[in-house]
C-alpha cells in the first residue's frame, strides 16, 4: 500500500461500530413482526439455531478475511483469487447504491417524525397522515408524482451527517461517533422498554403473543404436509433475518475488520457482535409488543388487528399508540423516534464506509474527496425515493436487493473461502488470534451455510415466479428490482476491470500461517 492504513483506537470502538452497523431499523420493526407472525416464543428457537450455524460462522468468515488480508472486500477477494474481485465489488456496490439510497430516505422519515412528535402532528388518523399527508402516495410505481420537499430536505440532513462522520478517518470519524451514539441508543431503548411494559395491556400482550410459544409453527416433522411446509418457511425466515440483521454480505464487516490491529481476538469479537445484536432485537421486542398490546387493550381490539408489519409499525401503529398514552405523549414520541434515527445512522455510515474504503484501497484517491463525492452522488440517487411514488420503488428495490443481491453474495463468499482459500486456512488464522474455533466451522462454511442460503434463494424465486411480489406489474418489478441489481452488477464488473498496482496484491502474510491445524 502506498499509504499506512488507519486503525481502530480500541477494540471497544471497533465493537461499538460493528454492533451499530448490525443494529438498524429492522431490529426494531422486522424482528418483532416476524415473531408475531411465526409463533411468538417458538420463533426464538429457529432464530437461535440460525445464529449458531449461519450468523456466527459467516461473521467469523468476514472478520477473518478482512483482518487477514487487511483490505476492503475487493482488495481482500482480489488477494485471495483475482477471479473473484468482482464479488468483492458487488457487495459494497449493492450496499451503497442498492440499499443506502433508499435507507437514507427511511431515516429521513424518522427525522421528520421526530419533529412531528413534539406536537403529535399526525393527529387522530396516523394512517391517513402517513400515506396521504406525509408521503402523498401516488397510485402506482409508474407515477412518481414529483419530489416531496420535506422528505428531500430531511434526507439531505441524513447524508450531511453521514458525510461529517465518514469524512474523517475511521478512528476520528466512525469510532468517535459510535462512542457517542451507541450508549445513547442503548439508554433510549431501555427507557422505552421500561416505560412500555408498565402500560395497561402490555403485560398480557408480551406474555401471550411474544413469549408464549406456538410450537406447531416450527414443527418440521408434523404429519400434515401443509404444517410442515409452513414450518419450513418459518425456519427459512429465521435464517434470512439473521443474515440481514448482522449486516452480512455487504462488505461492511470485512472492511471494519481490516482496520483491526495485527493481534485481535477475531472469534471473541464475532460472537460478541452477533449476540449483542440479537439480544437487542429481543429486548426491543418487549417495547413493540407492549405498545401494541396497550393500544389493542385501549381500543378493545385483538392484538392481531392492532399490529402491522414493516414501516407501518413505526409510522402508523406507534404514533397511534403514542397519541393514546395517558400522559407525556410527546416525550415518549421524541424518545422513540430519536432511537430510530440513531439506529438508522449507525447502520448508514457503515454502508458508506464499505464502498468508500473499496475506492480508496484501489485507486488511492483522497478519502475526504471520495466520501464527499459519494455522499453527493448518493443524495442525488436517493431523490427518486423521495417522490410520491417512492414507497413503491423502495419496496421493490428492498425485496430484490435483500432476497437476491445479498443472499447471492453470501453464497459466493462462502464458496470462495470454503473451497478456493480452503476454510481451514482462515480458521487457522482466526485461531492464532486467541479464540479456538472448532473444526465444525469448516463444514458449516463449505456445506451447511451455503446450502441454506441456496434454499433461501430458491424460496424467493419460487414465490416470485408463482405470484408477482406485492402484486406489482411485471414491468415495474423488472425495472426497479431486476434492473437495479443489473446496474449494480455492471458497476461491480467495471470497477473490477481496472487493474491494481502489483504491490497491492502482494500477500501480506507468511506461508507458515497457512499450515494445517492438527
Centre a 10 Å sphere on the Cβ of residue 4 and count the other Cβ atoms it contains: 6
Across the range 140-164, mean pLDDT stands at 96
259, pLDDT greater than 70: yes
Give residue-wise pLDDT tens across range 422-462: 999 999 999 999 889 999 999 999 999 999 999 988 988 98
Whether 2 has a pLDDT exceeding 60, the answer reads: no
Q: With beta carbons less than 8 A apart as the criterion, state whether 420 and 197 touch.
A: no
DSSP state, residue 503: G
- pLDDT surpassing 50 at residue 44: yes
Provide the pLDDT for residue 240. Answer: 86
Contact 140, 350 (CB under 8 A): no
Q: pLDDT digits over 156-187, tens only?
A: 999 999 999 999 999 999 999 999 999 999 99
* Band (502; pLDDT cuts 50, 70, 90): low
DSSP state string for 331-351: HHHHHHHHHHHHHHHHHHHHH
383: number of CA atoms within 13 Å, CB side?
A: 11
Question: Which of helix, strand or coil describes residue 147?
Answer: strand
Which residue is associated with the grid cell 451527517? 161
CA 283 to chain centroid: 18
Distance set, CA 399 to CA 36, 272, 406, 484 (Å): 20, 29, 11, 11
Determine the average pLDDT of the residues in 249-275. 95
Confidence of residue 463 (pLDDT cuts 50, 70, 90): confident
pLDDT in tens, 75-104: 999 999 989 999 999 999 999 998 999 999
Residues in contact with 18: Cβ distance below 8 Å, sequence separation at least 6, in sequence order: 253, 256, 269, 273
Which grid coordinates are listed for 85?
474481485
* Of 419, 449, 370, 488, nearest in space to 91 by CA: 488
pLDDT higher than threshold 60 for residue 40: yes
Q: Rounded distance, CA 59 to CA 72, Å? A: 15
Q: What is the 3-state secondary structure (H, E, C) of 8-66?
A: CCCHHHHHHHHHHHHCCHHHHHHHHHHHHHCCEHHHHHHHHHHHHHHHHHHHHHHHHHH
> 255: which residues sit within 8 A by CB, 6+ positions away?
66, 72, 73, 92, 353, 354, 357, 358
Q: Which three cell numbers stand for residue 89?
A: 465489488
Query: What average pLDDT score do residues 24-32 get?
Result: 90
Say which residue the cell 413482526 belongs to: 33
- Report the pLDDT value the prediction gives residue 518, as an integer from 0 to 100: 37
Structural domains in the chain? 31-498 (1.20.1740)
Closest alpha carbon to 357 in 61, 80, 7? 7
pLDDT single digits (tens) 387-401: 999 999 999 999 999
Residue 40 Cα to chain centre, angstroms:
22
Q: Is 214 left (phi over 0), alpha (psi -120 to 50) or beta?
A: beta
Would you place residue 499 in the very low, low, confident or very high pLDDT band (cuts 50, 70, 90)? confident
**Mean pLDDT within 366-377:** 96
Q: What is the pTM of this model?
A: 0.94
Q: What percent of the chain has pLDDT over 90?
A: 81
- Taking 80 as the threshold, does the pLDDT of residue 8 lie above it? yes
The b/e string for 235-263 (b: 16+ C-beta within 10 A; e otherwise) is bbbbbbbbbbbbbbbbbbbbbbbbbbeee
Average pLDDT over the chain, rounded to whole? 92
Amino acid at each position: 500500500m502506498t499509504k499506512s492504513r488507519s486503525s481502530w483506537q480500541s477494540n471497544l470502538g471497533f465493537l461499538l461500530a460493528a454492533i451499530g452497523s448490525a443494529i438498524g431499523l429492522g431490529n426494531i420493526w422486522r424482528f418483532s413482526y416476524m415473531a408475531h407472525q411465526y409463533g411468538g416464543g417458538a420463533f426464538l428457537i429457529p432464530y437461535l439455531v440460525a445464529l449458531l450455524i449461519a450468523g456466527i460462522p459467516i461473521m467469523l468468515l468476514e472478520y477473518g478475511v478482512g483482518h487477514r488480508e487487511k483490505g476492503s472486500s475487493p482488495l481482500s477477494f482480489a488477494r485471495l483469487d483475482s477471479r473473484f474481485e468482482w464479488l468483492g465489488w458487488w457487495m459494497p456496490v449493492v450496499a451503497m447504491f442498492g440499499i443506502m439510497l433508499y435507507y437514507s430516505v427511511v431515516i429521513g422519515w424518522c427525522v421528520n417524525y421526530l419533529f412531528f412528535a413534539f406536537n403529535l402532528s399526525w393527529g387522530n388518523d396516523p394512517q391517513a397522515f402517513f400515506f396521504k399527508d406525509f408521503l402523498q402516495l401516488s397510485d402506482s410505481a409508474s407515477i412518481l408524482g414529483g419530489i416531496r420537499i420535506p422528505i428531500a430536505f430531511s434526507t439531505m440532513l441524513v447524508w450531511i451527517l453521514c458525510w461529517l462522520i465518514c469524512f474523517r478517518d475511521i478512528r476520528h470519524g466512525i469510532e468517535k461517533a459510535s462512542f457517542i451514539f451507541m450508549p445513547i441508543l442503548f439508554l433510549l431503548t431501555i427507557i422505552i422498554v421500561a416505560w412500555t411494559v408498565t402500560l395497561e395491556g402490555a403485560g398480557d400482550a408480551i406474555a401471550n403473543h411474544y413469549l408464549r410459544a406456538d410450537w406447531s409453527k416450527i414443527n418440521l416433522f408434523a404429519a400434515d404436509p401443509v404444517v410442515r411446509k409452513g414450518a419450513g418457511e418459518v425456519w427459512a425466515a429465521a435464517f434470512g433475518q439473521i443474515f440481514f440483521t448482522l449486516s452480512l454480505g455487504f462488505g461492511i464487516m470485512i472492511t471494519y475488520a481490516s482496520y483491526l490491529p495485527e493481534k485481535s481476538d477475531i472469534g471473541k469479537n464475532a460472537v460478541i457482535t452477533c449476540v449483542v445484536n440479537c439480544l437487542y432485537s429481543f429486548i426491543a421486542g418487549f417495547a413493540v409488543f407492549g405498545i401494541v398490546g396497550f393500544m389493542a387493550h385501549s381500543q378493545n381490539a385483538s392484538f392481531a388487528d392492532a399490529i402491522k408489519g414493516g414501516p407501518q409499525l413505526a409510522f402508523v401503529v406507534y404514533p397511534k399508540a403514542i397519541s393514546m398514552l395517558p400522559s407525556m405523549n410527546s416525550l415518549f414520541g421524541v424518545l422513540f423516534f430519536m432511537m430510530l434515527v440513531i439506529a438508522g445512522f449507525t447502520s448508514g455510515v457503515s454502508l458508506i464506509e464499505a464502498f468508500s474504503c473499496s475506492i480508496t484501497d484501489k485507486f488511492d484517491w483522497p478519502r475526504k474527496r471520495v466520501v464527499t463525492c459519494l455522499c453527493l452522488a448518493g443524495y442525488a440517487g436517493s431523490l427518486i425515493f423521495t417522490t410520491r411514488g417512492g414507497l413503491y420503488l423502495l419496496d421493490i428495490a428492498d425485496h430484490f436487493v435483500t432476497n437476491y443481491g445479498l443472499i447471492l453474495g453470501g453464497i459466493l463468499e462462502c464458496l470462495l473461502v470454503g473451497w478456493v482459500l480452503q476454510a481451514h486456512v482462515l480458521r487457522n488464522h482466526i485461531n492464532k488470534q486467541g479464540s479456538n474455533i472448532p473444526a465444525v466451522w469448516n463444514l458449516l462454511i463449505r456445506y451447511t451455510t451455503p446450502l441454506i442460503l441456496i434454499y433461501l434463494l430458491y424460496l424467493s424465486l419460487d414465490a416470485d415466479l408463482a405470484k408477482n411480489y406485492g402484486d406489482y406489474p411485471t414491468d415495474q418489478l423488472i425495472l426497479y428490482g431486476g434492473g437495479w441489481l443489473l446496474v449494480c452488477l455492471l458497476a461491480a464488473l467495471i470497477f473490477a476491470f481496472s487493474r491494481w498496482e502489483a504491490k497491492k496484491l502482494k500477500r501480506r502474510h507468511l506461508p507458515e500461517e497457512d499450515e494445517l491445524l492438527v
